[in-house]
Amino acid sequence: MFRSFAGALVLGAALCVCDVVKSQEEPPQGVPGASSMLATRRHLFVVHDGVLYQFDVNTLRLLNTVRLGVEAPHPAPPPAPEPVNIAPPKRQPARAEPQVVVPPAAMTKMAANAVEWLVRHQDEDGKWDADGFMNHDKNGVPCDGPGNATYDVGVTGLALLTLLAEGNTVRAGPRRENVRLAVKWLQEQQQENGLFGTNATTDFIYSHAIATYAMSEAYGLSDHRPIKAAVQKGIDYIQAARNPYGVWRYQPRDNDNDSSVTTWCLLALASANFFGLPVDEAASKAVSVWFDGVTGPDGRAGYTKVDDPSSRLPGDHKSRFPPERGEAMTAAALLCRYSMGAESNQLMQASADLLVAKPPRWDTEQGAIDEYYWFFGTKALWHAGGRQWAEWQRKLGEALSTSQRRDGNFAGSWDPVGVWGETGGRLYTTALLALAAQTAGRPRR
């Protein structure tokens, strides 16, 4: 076993030599240089494109990078005498910094650490408490980052989705009891009219749609018939809340529409349809018409109309988190198109290019952190695949690996410093970024 990074360089050089030997044959078009990996008890070493990366094997934190080279078999010839009266040599361009490449397995590990954190902060009755989750931190410094107390239904739905995406169901998996409790609590929050939670807030449709989406996934992945009726009632409520000849916003049938709420409602309907529950086909047609109407020829989708940026709270929220730093609504529209079975076309490719041009970047000073955008963008570009997915996946891995907390009660979570962190809190932020990491670690079909 290697006990130092210097010792690992010997391995890195050997791996690099192997790669050079292998690459004597011309690689397939579009395929980057060969890569090699080795895991020890303490470290993960990755050689990629002539750079050796050293990660901590437990936390997957990047520790060191070293550019490797292969010695020439013969010494270079002596330099020629410098000519007289010639122009100065051209300045060589600066060498680009080596790119941080986080393997899919490392993304899955990050997501698993996030799920561990979520499980440690689940209440005994099955819910996740948006503003009181830190009460589980009995020893050490308790977590900060409470969210809005009215969002328990929504954050419980998001946390449940992370457990399901990890492979847990009501019937199987190491977290099946946590899944069962969450499903039971959400079912207990459902009213007779099908609404999960209450209509006490102006944007309660968000929480209902997310909870319905999570319950539909729990039903379908578990084949758990006892919750089928609850899921159908939730779907029926969504369909009844849709505006006549339109889509959704904050209140049922208020003749107002937006792309954000509509995306969550569509995800719930698409899940239910996938698992065989009856869904009104008119709803998906209305969503398609809506996104066609708010998407410009450049592929950019608006919030309530063409060129309408993502919403922000009153006050200085817009200046702290400039909407132009991301493409949340474009990502949401693209994800909905794929969820409705659309085949990739020129407009969708343009949308994907817009996302790649504004990749994830953990930058608190520029207000560039947008977990909402990163979640939608990751799921949409996973469907797109190809160059666009590869570029986005690399940037997402870099952003998440350098920012996930590894200390004390915070370990596995992400700080709620993004656009909606102050309202959703640490639970919301960690659940959305865990879902993004799970998608990034999953192989494409």
Task: Summarize pLDDT for 107-153 with one digit per residue, the tens.
Answer: 999 999 999 999 999 999 999 999 999 999 999 999 999 999 999 99
Q: Where are the domains of the chain?
A: 5-25+32-67, 104-440
Cβ–Cβ < 8 Å for 211, 204? no
Residue type, 74: H
Assigned architecture for domain 104-440 = Alpha/alpha barrel (1.50)
Helix or strand run (H / E) with residue 393? helix 386-401
pLDDT at 18: 37
Residue 77 has pLDDT above 80, yes or no: no
Angle CA 250–255–261, to nearest 5:
30
Give pTM, 2 decimals.
0.79
**Residue listed under structure tokens 């339109």:** 246
Output the six-digit token pair for 319: 């200046």
> How does the average pLDDT of the chain come out, rounded?
87
pLDDT digits (tens, 9 = 90+) for 295-325: 999 999 999 999 999 999 999 999 999 999 9
pLDDT digits (tens, 9 = 90+) for 370-409: 999 999 999 999 999 999 999 999 999 999 999 999 999 9
Cβ–Cβ under 8 Å, residues 256 and 290: no
Backbone angles phi, psi at 185, to 5 degrees: -65, -45
Average pLDDT rounded to a whole number, residues 177-181:
98
- What is the tens place of the pLDDT at every residue in 151-178? 999 999 999 999 999 999 999 999 999 9
Residue 13 per-residue DSSP state: H
Q: What's the confidence (pLDDT) of residue 149?
A: 95
Q: What is the dihedral of CA 183, 189, 195, 198, to 10 degrees?
A: -140
8 A C-beta contact, residue 113 and residue 99: no
How far apart are alpha carbons 442 and 433 in whole angstroms?
A: 14
The vertex-279 CA angle with 276 and 284, nearest 5°, equals 120
